[in-house]
Amino acid sequence: MADAEIALDIQNLKKYFGGIKAVDGCTFQVPKGQISGLIGPNGSGKTTTFNLLTGVLAADSGEVLYNGENIVGLRPYEIFNRGISRTFQITRIYREMTVFENMLSASSMKVPLREARARAEQLMEFVTLTKLRGEYGGNLSYGQQKLLEFARALMTDPDLILLDEPAAGVNRTLLNNLLDHIHHLQEEQGKTVLIVEHDMNVIMNHCEKVFVLDYGVKIAEGLPEDIQTNEEVIEAYFGHK
């Protein structure tokens, strides 16, 4: 594992909200071309970490190296344009735009419209939303919104995809579908995927490496099976015996 290439090098990342240390010196390296998981009890700083990585929140200190460049301090669209894309814990699609418009909205203005349209069509096909292309985002079921958000995150063909709780509120069939897509991206296209997830089945069965956060600090990392038996992790989740 140690010799794997690194996609994202997170060094001593910090974010405090007043007295709350949401992310407190977090350090870990996301391996390239793999599916990794980021877990931890509620309030352990997973989503905040995502927000820091994507520029939605500004980090207080620390570095995030992506392709050798520190992306801390860049605006979200600048980070996005460098090839990092994300979805949200609670889906955030444009409710008053159609599925197709949602897709197109994530394409760069520099890409010719024809190409962007073709890409959108292809991705809608990929997540089986083609039939709903003219439907307003707000009219989709929650699962369909998740698929749409996922497909939208792929519009610019990002190299690194951050998924915030893709399993939450999604039925099994749809979830398996989504996981198939994720595997497809990783295996066929060599994408790096980082998943925040509470659903341990997803983490244990689909991630090659897992990072565990607690109180804004990484307390463990390793293979899923090692994490399961890690004392510190068990303590973080269940408290002292």
Give residues in contact with other proteins (CB under 8 A): 54-56, 75-77, 80-81, 85-86, 88, 92-97, 101, 104-109, 113, 116, 152, 155-156
Pick the closer one to other proteins by CB: 93 or 174.
93
Question: What's CA 131's distance to the chain center, in Å?
Answer: 26
Q: How far apart are the first and last CA of the chain?
A: 32
Pick the closer one to other proteins by CB: 157 or 232.
157
The label of the residue with tokens 């979200």 reads 76
For residue 239, the minimal CB distance to other proteins (Å) is 35
CA distance 164 to 154: 14
Tokens of 38: 């980021």
For residue 92, the minimal CB distance to other proteins (Å) is 5
The helix/strand count (H/E) of the chain reads as: 9, 10
For residue 133, the minimal CB distance to other proteins (Å) is 14
Pick the closer one to other proteins by CB: 12 or 77.
77
Contact status, residue 175 vs residue 202, Cβ threshold 8 Å? yes
Question: Residue 233: CB partners within 8 Å, gap ≥ 6?
Answer: 212, 219, 220, 227
Pick the closer one to other proteins by CB: 122 or 205.
122
Residue 19: helix, strand or coil by DSSP? Answer: coil
Question: Residue 56: CB partners within 8 Å, gap ≥ 6?
Answer: 50, 76
Pick the closer one to other proteins by CB: 88 or 211.
88
For residue 108, the minimal CB distance to other proteins (Å) is 6
For residue 95, the minimal CB distance to other proteins (Å) is 7
